[in-house]
Amino acid sequence: MNDKYIELTVKTSPDLVELLADFIMNATNEAVEIGTDTIVLRTSESTETIEQQLKELDIECEVTKEEKENIDWIKAYQDSVQPIEAGEFYIHPQWHEAKDGKINILINPALAFGSGHHATTYSCLQAISKYVKDGNKLLDVGCGSGILALAATHKGAVVDLCDTDELAVDSSKENFALNGKEYNKIWVGSANKTDEKYDVVVANIIADVLKMIANELKSKLKSDSILIVSGILDKKEHIVTKAFSNLDIIERIKKDEWVTLIYKGK
Q: Are residues 249 and 129 in the same domain?
A: yes
**CATH code for the domain of 51:** 3.30.70.790
Position 14 pLDDT exceeds 50: yes
Q: What is the mean pLDDT of residues 200-226?
A: 94
Give per-residue pLDDT as tens, 109-141. 644 344 455 788 889 999 999 999 999 999 999
Last residue of a domain, one of 40, 56, 77: 77
Q: Are residues 245 and 169 in the same domain?
A: yes
Q: How far apart are CA 266 and CA 247, in angstroms?
A: 7
Q: What is the pLDDT of residue 114?
A: 47
Is 94 contained in some domain? Answer: no
Of 132 and 105, the one with more pLDDT: 132
Number of domains in the chain: 2
Q: Are residues 137 and 228 in the same domain?
A: yes
Of 78 and 209, the one with more pLDDT: 209
Q: Are residues 50 and 160 in the same domain?
A: no
Q: What is the 3-state secondary structure (H, E, C) of 184-242?
A: CEEEECCHHHCCCCEEEEEEECCHHHHHHCHHHHHCCEEEEEEEEEEEEEHHHHHHHHH
Q: What is the pLDDT of residue 55?
A: 85
Q: What is the mean pLDDT of residues 229-251?
A: 94
Q: Are residues 61 and 162 in the same domain?
A: no
Q: Are residues 61 and 126 in the same domain?
A: no
Q: What is the pLDDT of residue 111?
A: 42
Confidence of residue 222 (pLDDT cuts 50, 70, 90): very high
Q: Are residues 180 and 250 in the same domain?
A: yes
Cβ neighbors of 177 (< 8 A, separation 6 or more) are none
Position 79 pLDDT exceeds 80: no
* pTM, entire model: 0.69
Q: What is the mean pLDDT of residues 166-176?
A: 89
Domain that holds residue 73: 4-77
Q: What is the pLDDT of residue 245?
A: 94
Is 54 contained in some domain? Answer: yes
Q: Are residues 41 and 140 in the same domain?
A: no
Last residue of a domain, one of 22, 45, 77: 77
